[in-house]
A and B are shown apart, each in its own frame.
Chain A
Amino acid sequence: MSAVGTPVPIGRRSALVLGAASVAGLMMLVWPLLVQAEDGARVQPPFLFLVLLPVVLAVVVAELSEGGLDARALAVLGVLTAVNAVLRGMGAGVAGLELVFFLLILAGRVFGPGFGFVLGALSLFAGALLTAGVGPWLPYQMLVAAWVGLGAGLLPRRVLGRPVTGRWEIALLATYGVVAAYVYGLLLNLQGWPYLLGIGIPGVDGEGLMFVPGDPLHENLGRFLVYTLVTSTTSWDTGRAITTALAVVLLGPSVLVVLRRAARRARVVRA
């Protein structure tokens, strides 16, 4: 061990596994856009994915911690997971008031992409345990939240040779927060759309908001966008985006200081 910048470093091998798993996970999320069917055949939603995704998640998380999470990273991870789970529990009663993302993004930024990924997945899991939210949707939520944390860790530290700090950093994180909030809503909706609305029969349906396998991509996509616009974008997703951005702008600076102090102390100094 020498001086390590991030508590959960991603090696080349982990990056490969993470990449392959993300592709597999993404396919399971956007499956309605990928499915190819013959006309007239009734397509069943792929319930199999509900069992498959936990396996994928488990492998990635095991791989990321394979180098051995050092005790400090683990303790910080545990504590932030708890805070996030509580924040999620607090927001659960109010539509769109999601504070999970804000701390997840800040922590991903400070502790790096690997940490962000694991924190995202664990936060949603612990939050579900806390709020009785364990359901078939949980693995999907965990995966997308993990990506949000990962992405926050991958945000550039320097732009045009200048380090991104202070106000610019907050602006960057807030913008990312808005994007992440919408993408999160969009991906989860896409996955759940056929489950909740039903699947049309190719060649028979064509006018509803339903997902119709085999229709051209743009038609299904169009229907999906209307569906998501009506059901979530105007309420949940926008609420989530606004809270996240506001929280990053108003609380971000002081929370970043707190996290950075912890990161400094949590660093391996010499061995």
Chain B
Amino acid sequence: MIELRGITFTYDDAATPVLDRVDLEVEEGELVLVAGRTGVGKSTLLGVVPGLVPRFTGGTLGGDVLVDGTSIVDLPPRERAHLVGYVGQDPVAGFVTDTVEEELAYGMEQLGLAPTTMRRRVEETLDLLGIADLRARDLRALSGGQQQRVAIGAVLAAHPRLLVLDEPTSALDPTAAEEVLASLTRLVHDVGLSVLLAEHRLERVVPFADRTCLLTGDGRVRVGDTADVLREAPVVPPIVDLGRRLGWEPLPLTVRDARRRVRGLGLPAAPDAPVRTATAAGLTGRGVTVAHGRRAVVREVDVDLPSGIVTALMGRNGAGKSSLIWALQGSRKRYAGRVTVDGVDPAALSADERVRRVGLVPQTAADLLYLETVREECAAADAGARAEAGSCAALLATMVPGIDPEQHPRDLSEGQRLALVLAIVLVAEPPVLLLDEPTRGLDYPAKEALAVTLRRLADTGHAVLVASHDVEFVARVADRVVVMAEGEVVSAGPVRDVLAESPSFAPQVAKITGAGWLTVDEVVAAAGSAGESS
């Protein structure tokens, strides 16, 4: 139905093409997954279909885009609106109006559809995506999953042939992600819509994909059956990783399939976790309560962040994680409770003194940056912390080597930018470090680099708290987990126990093998020894 033929694309300042003679065909009613590392051109490939590339990005495009055999490559994005629906990475940024109903109608208004048709299609779309009860709501007041579904509905109402989605579930917690994916499968199965989507949380979407298009990194793609393509992919979800390393054929893609295979392994009981011991008290909070107006968003939370330990903070969006983090740091006013770091309450200190006790990397880390080059940012951080010149740059180099100091901080990749902010925060040498959702937008290698950095910080005596709903990341990096719901702590303890108890926060490996196992490495090692002994 829609066909990319020999697509070659080069950015203006690049020497080599990011897409090189790419061929891809999407059939009617098919869901095709685009996979690959961050920066290999997933978004670029998706952008070619609605025409945003090259019109919004610059660069040179070769090849052809065909819909039912007709070339549309010369049409601007607006003239493709009735053929291709596109939802970008941040659906909120793409909203034009302010209520759900008007947003659904916006695209149809542009296409000049008759009012009666619009009215009918708005109702249909509301029902199709299960958002009828939200029709009059303010778009900004919706939850992330609802916003994503409205954004999908808003392009769907124009009845496009193909839906293009760029990372639709990356920013969502597991439950919201499932809502969105359930809506998508309904569209593919019931309505026969074609979907082309990119996602780096592959573990979420792989079970739904009919085929996968893997960007290999040299501008070429490999398209085929998902299991076949993932066999040699550089980035794979844990389930596929496990399957590959244990040599399972055919490669299992769903938890259900994998569980069947695991039974045959004869795994021993889960290993005891190597317990790291705390070296000092770090940060202690007692009865921490945060109120928003008259509403308690964090209610009497006791929390200990010992030095040398990485603690993960988990919970649904809106469970009070961010509020707790800011209150622990001392910037946000507490309603009640005590926090001590080295016997001092950070809230009682001046902002400049506070950052020497407790470092915080907020959810939108880029908010800390305001200068024009990486060099200036580092110099300002050194001067502010009265650290030796070059300390910040040195910290940055240990985390992410090879950043051009003359680059604009906004032009860095997500991982690089996070590292820069982390370096700026760490220059003040705080013994306690808090991170709010640092893995957002990071791919597997960048997450791995962050995990290494956090572990190293803990090993050098820092107390680290990281809020995340990236279960796999938490399983990899944390020693202890605190789970929050409705502003209260619902469970806390060693990572192995807590993650195993919770169905929505269990990592894939735990779902496959049962409680106790967290990472692929452990299972592979155990399976190896089990295989030898039998």
A257 to B58 Cα, complex, angstroms: 19
Q: Is B54 an interface residue (CB 8 A)?
A: yes
A270 lies within 8 A of B372 (CB): no
A261 contacts across to B, CB distance below 8 A: 408, 410
Contact for B54 among A71, A72, A265, A270, CB less than 8 A: A270
A257 contacts across to B, CB distance below 8 A: 372
Q: Is A268 an interface residue (CB 8 A)?
A: yes
A265 contacts across to B, CB distance below 8 A: 56
Contact for B59 among A254, A269, A271, CB less than 8 A: A269
A268 lies within 8 A of B55 (CB): yes
Mark interface residues in A249-271 (1 if CB within 8 Å of B CB, else 0). 00000100100010001011111
B55 lies within 8 A of A269 (CB): yes
Contact for A72 among B56, B58, B60, B408, CB less than 8 A: B56
A271 lies within 8 A of B408 (CB): no
Restricting to B406-421, which residues have a CB under 8 Å from any CB of A? 408, 410
A268 to B51 Cα, complex, angstroms: 13
A254 lies within 8 A of B55 (CB): no
Given A254-B372, A257-B372, A271 contacting B410 (CB threshold 8 A): no
Most chain B beta carbons < 10 A, residue from A257, A265, A269? A269
B60 contacts across to A, CB distance below 8 A: 270
A270 to B74 Cα, complex, angstroms: 10
B372 contacts across to A, CB distance below 8 A: 254, 257
A271 contacts across to B, CB distance below 8 A: 55, 76
A151 to B533 Cα, complex, angstroms: 84
Mark interface residues in A35-74 (1 if CB within 8 Å of B CB, else 0). 0000000000000000000000000000000000001100
A270 lies within 8 A of B410 (CB): no
Restricting to B352-382, which residues have a CB under 8 Å from any CB of A? 370-372
Mark interface residues in B52-68 (1 if CB within 8 Å of A CB, else 0). 00111111100000000
Interface of A is mostly: helix
A261 to B408 Cα, complex, angstroms: 10
Restricting to A76-134, which residues have a CB under 8 Å from any CB of B? none
A71 contacts across to B, CB distance below 8 A: 78
A72 to B56 Cα, complex, angstroms: 9
Contact for A269 among B54, B78, B370, CB less than 8 A: B54
**20 more A-B residue pairs beyond the given contacts A254-B370, A254-B371, with a C-beta to C-beta distance below 8 A:** A71-B78, A72-B56, A254-B372, A257-B372, A261-B408, A261-B410, A265-B56, A267-B58, A268-B55, A269-B54, A269-B55, A269-B57, A269-B58, A269-B59, A270-B54, A270-B55, A270-B58, A270-B60, A271-B55, A271-B76
Mark interface residues in A227-267 (1 if CB within 8 Å of B CB, else 0). 00000000000000000000000000010010001000101
Nearest residue in B to A268 (C-beta to C-beta)?
A: B55
A261 to B60 Cα, complex, angstroms: 20
Nearest residue in A to B60 (C-beta to C-beta)?
A: A270
A94 to B354 Cα, complex, angstroms: 32
A71 to B110 Cα, complex, angstroms: 12
A217 to B408 Cα, complex, angstroms: 56
A80 to B437 Cα, complex, angstroms: 29
A269 to B410 Cα, complex, angstroms: 21
A167 to chain B, nearest CB (A): 16
19 contacts between A and B (CB under 8 A): A71-B78, A254-B370, A254-B371, A257-B372, A261-B408, A261-B410, A265-B56, A267-B58, A268-B55, A269-B54, A269-B55, A269-B58, A269-B59, A270-B54, A270-B55, A270-B58, A270-B60, A271-B55, A271-B76
Restricting to B18-74, which residues have a CB under 8 Å from any CB of A? 54-60
B93 to chain A, nearest CB (A): 10
A82 to chain B, nearest CB (A): 13
B408 contacts across to A, CB distance below 8 A: 261
A270 to B370 Cα, complex, angstroms: 31
B371 contacts across to A, CB distance below 8 A: 254
B55 to chain A, nearest CB (A): 6
Nearest residue in A to B77 (C-beta to C-beta)?
A: A71
A261 to B56 Cα, complex, angstroms: 14
A101 to chain B, nearest CB (A): 22
B213 to chain A, nearest CB (A): 25
B158 to chain A, nearest CB (A): 16
A65 to chain B, nearest CB (A): 16
B55 contacts across to A, CB distance below 8 A: 268-271
B76 contacts across to A, CB distance below 8 A: 271
B59 contacts across to A, CB distance below 8 A: 269
B56 contacts across to A, CB distance below 8 A: 72, 265
A178 to B4 Cα, complex, angstroms: 56
B177 to chain A, nearest CB (A): 28
Nearest residue in A to B74 (C-beta to C-beta)?
A: A271
B203 to chain A, nearest CB (A): 33
A170 to chain B, nearest CB (A): 15
B417 to chain A, nearest CB (A): 15
A270 contacts across to B, CB distance below 8 A: 54-55, 58, 60
B292 to chain A, nearest CB (A): 23
A72 contacts across to B, CB distance below 8 A: 56
A267 to B60 Cα, complex, angstroms: 15
Most chain B beta carbons < 10 A, residue from A72, A267, A270? A270
Nearest residue in A to B410 (C-beta to C-beta)?
A: A261
A271 to B408 Cα, complex, angstroms: 28
B309 to chain A, nearest CB (A): 40
B370 contacts across to A, CB distance below 8 A: 254
A267 to B59 Cα, complex, angstroms: 12
A270 to B76 Cα, complex, angstroms: 10
A70 to B227 Cα, complex, angstroms: 43
User: Which 7 A-B pairs rank lowest in CB-CB distance, beginning with the nearest?
Assistant: A269-B58, A257-B372, A270-B54, A269-B54, A271-B76, A269-B55, A271-B55
A269 to B55 Cα, complex, angstroms: 6
